[in-house]
Amino acid sequence: MGNRVGSTSTPVGAQVHIVGGGLAGSEAAWQIASRGVAVVLHEMRPTRTTEAHQTSQLAELVCSNSFRSDDSATNAVGLLHAEMRRCGSLIMRSADANQVPAGGALAVDRDGFSAAVQSALETHPLITLVREEVPGLPPADWTNVVVATGPLTSAPLAAAIMALTGEQSLAFFDAIAPIVYRDSIDLSVAWFQSRYDKAGPGGSGADYINCPLTREQYETFVAALTTGDKAEFREWETNTPYFDGCLPIEVMAERGPETLRHGPMKPVGLTNPHAPGVKPYAVVQLRQDNKLGTLYNIVGFQTKLKHAEQVRILRSIPGLGQAEFARLGGLHRNTFLNSPQLLDGQLRLRREPRLRFAGQMTGCEGYVESASIGLLAGLFAAADALRGTLPLPPPTTALGALLGHVTGGHIETIDAGPRSFQPMNINFGLFPPLASMPKASDGKRLRGPEKALAKKRAITARALADLESWMSDVVREDGADGGPSASERAPAA
Ligand SMILES: Cc1cc2nc3c(=O)[nH]c(=O)nc-3n(C[C@H](O)[C@H](O)[C@H](O)COP(=O)(O)OP(=O)(O)OC[C@H]3O[C@@H](n4cnc5c(N)ncnc54)[C@H](O)[C@@H]3O)c2cc1C
C-alpha cells in the first residue's frame, strides 16, 4: 500500500474503508470524517486507470464540467444542490468555490474543483488516502465498507461483485430508453391498455399507454430515425456488446422499414377506444416507470440519437406532441447494481451488510446524484461506526426521493424480459404528489405553464421544509473536527 496521507485515531474496528475516490467516494469520506470517524480511502488511479479518467485527481469530472441547473426553486437538480449544501457537502463547497460563468447552471473549473476536493481530503487528519486498486471483494476484516467505484469499476472487483450477487451481468451497454412525464401525454389520442388486456403479475390489464400511428406517420417516423443525428461511440465503447440484444431503435430502423413494426412498435392485441374501427398501423407503448405512476418509459426505445433529435422525432408520435422528458435515451458502458433487489434502505448489500454501495453504481445518474448518494452512504456508515441510528431522509426531499428510487422506487417489469431498473437523474417525477394543488392568489385554479411552475415551487418548498425538520431531528452543532460549521448544520450520526 503506497502513498498514505494522514493518521487515524479511531479504533481499527470502527474505521470505514471507502473503495473509489470519485464523486461519491470523496463526498462519503468527507461526511464520515466530519463526524469524527476515521476513513481509509482507496483509489486505484494513477496506478490503474479507467477508459474515461485522464488524471490522478480525486473527484475527476470525466466529461462535462456542469453540475446542471442551480435553481433550487423550480429545478430538481438545483434543489439537490441546495439540500447537499445544507448537509455540508464537500463536493458542493468545492464546486461553489470553483464556479465558472454558465448562466443558470453551476459549471466549474474542473481542475480547480478536483484539486479543492483532493486537498480537503488529503489534509483531513482522520482520512488516509491509499493509492491502490481493491482487486476483488474487500477483505473480511473491513467491517464497514463503502464501495463507490463508479460506472467504470475495475474488472476484478466487478467480477467479484457479480459472483457475490449472482447477477448475470454488471458491465454492459446501458441501454436507456427515454422517460416521459405522465401528465404531458395526450390521453385524448393515447389510451391505457395492456396487449391482449393481459394483467400479468402486479398489473391491471391496462398498464401501458399506447400511441397509435397510421401507415404514413409510421413511414415518416422511420425515415426520421434513419437520417437523425447520432452521438458517436467512443473508441473503447465500440468493443462492448449491446446488452441483451437491446438494439437502438435507429439501428432497427436501418435494418428495414418493417423491423420496428415487428418489434417494439407492433400493433397487435390493442384496440384504440378513440377509434375502435380503425386498426393502427403501428403502436408505441409506454410503461409505468415508478411506483407513483408519474413517469412512463417508452418501451424498447433505447437510442443513441442526439438529445435534440430525440425530442424532435419522439414528439412526432401521436399523443407525445407535448411530451416532457424526465430522461432522454442513451447508450454507454455502465456498471450498476440491480439495487432495489440487492440493497437495503441504507444502501447495504442484503447478503453482506458490511458492504454499502454509493454513487452511480447504485443506479443514479450524474455527478450531483452520485455525490448525493455518497453523502447519504457516508452518513449511514458513520452512524454504523458510532453505533447510532440515522432516520432516512423524508421521501419529499430530493435526497430522500433519489434514495427511494435507488433502493426500491422502481416497479418490476410487467412482461418477462430484462429487468426494468435503470439509472436515473433526479427529477420531479420521483417526488410524492402534493397533498393539494397550489392555487392562484385569487383562489382560482392555475392552468398550463403557470400551474407547472407553481407545482415545482410547492414541491421544492416542501422539500426544504422537510429537510430542515429531518436535520433538526438528528442535528449536532459541530464543526470543530473540520466538518460542517454550525451554520451548515448537518445531520449527526
Ligand atoms: C464516459 C462517461 C461520461 C460521463 N459524462 C457525464 C457528464 O457529462 N455529466 C454527468 O453528470 N455525469 C456523467 N457521467 C456519469 C459520471 O461518471 C458519474 O456521474 C460520476 O462520475 C459517478 O460518480 P461515482 O463516484 O459513482 O464514480 P466515479 O466518479 O467514476 O468514481 C469511481 C472511482 O473509483 C475508482 N475505482 C474503480 N474501481 C476501483 C477499484 N477496484 N479499486 C479502487 N478504485 C477503483 C475509479 O478510478 C474512480 O476514481 C459520465 C460517465 C461516463 C462513463
67 lines ligand 1 (CB under 6 A): no
Of all protein residues, the one whose alpha carbon is nearest to atom 1 of ligand 1 is 52
**Which of 129, 137, 337, 360 is the pocket-test mutation for ligand 1 (most atoms within 8 Å of CB)?**
360
What is the CA(169)–ligand 1 centre distance, in A? 18
179 lines ligand 1 (CB under 6 A): no
Quote the CA–CA distance of 377 and 295 in Å, as a whole number.
26
Q: pTM, whole model, 2 decimals?
A: 0.77
What is the CA(90)–ligand 1 centre distance, in A? 17
**Which atom from ligand 1 is nearest to the alpha carbon of 26?**
25
323 lines ligand 1 (CB under 6 A): no
What is the CA(213)–ligand 1 centre distance, in A? 40
20 lines ligand 1 (CB under 6 A): yes
b/e for 187-218, b at 16 or more Cβ within 10 A? eebbbebbbeeeeeeebeeebbbbbbbeeebb
What is the CA(146)–ligand 1 centre distance, in A? 15
What is the CA(67)–ligand 1 centre distance, in A? 14
393 lines ligand 1 (CB under 6 A): no
36 lines ligand 1 (CB under 6 A): no
24 lines ligand 1 (CB under 6 A): yes
**Which atom from ligand 1 is nearest to the alpha carbon of 48?**
47
Strand partners, 107: 66, 100
68 lines ligand 1 (CB under 6 A): no
pLDDT at 287: 84
**Which atom from ligand 1 is nearest to the alpha carbon of 359?**
26
**Which atom from ligand 1 is nearest to the alpha carbon of 133?**
42
**Which atom from ligand 1 is nearest to the alpha carbon of 150?**
27
pLDDT tens for each residue of the chain, 493 residues long:
333 333 344 555 589 999 999 999 999 999 999 999 999 999 999 999 987 788 999 999 987 788 999 999 999 999 999 999 999 999 999 999 999 877 778 888 888 999 999 999 999 999 999 999 999 999 999 999 999 999 989 989 998 998 998 876 565 555 667 889 999 999 999 999 988 887 755 567 788 899 999 999 999 999 999 998 877 655 555 555 554 445 789 988 999 999 999 999 999 999 999 999 999 999 999 988 777 888 888 988 988 899 999 999 999 999 999 999 988 887 766 788 888 889 999 999 999 999 999 999 998 989 999 999 999 999 999 999 999 989 999 999 999 999 999 998 654 444 444 445 777 889 999 999 999 989 888 889 998 889 999 999 999 999 999 999 999 876 543 333 333 433 334 455 4
What is the CA(280)–ligand 1 centre distance, in A? 44
45 lines ligand 1 (CB under 6 A): yes
What is the CA(181)–ligand 1 centre distance, in A? 28
**Which of 367, 375, 424, 427 is the pocket-test mutation for ligand 1 (most atoms within 8 Å of CB)?**
367
427 lines ligand 1 (CB under 6 A): no
**Which atom from ligand 1 is nearest to the alpha carbon of 22?**
31
Quote the CA–CA distance of 248 and 331 in Å, as a whole number.
8
**Which atom from ligand 1 is nearest to the alpha carbon of 64?**
8
Quote the CA–CA distance of 238 and 233 in Å, as a whole number.
6
54 lines ligand 1 (CB under 6 A): no
Residue pLDDT, tens place only, 156-210: 999 899 899 887 656 555 566 788 999 999 999 999 998 888 775 556 778 889 9
409 lines ligand 1 (CB under 6 A): no
364 lines ligand 1 (CB under 6 A): no
Burial of 9 (0-12, 13-18, 19+ CB in 10 A): exposed
Quote the CA–CA distance of 11 and 37 in Å, as a whole number.
9
What is the CA(223)–ligand 1 centre distance, in A? 36
pLDDT at 412: 45
**Which of 26, 44, 232 is the pocket-test mutation for ligand 1 (most atoms within 8 Å of CB)?**
44
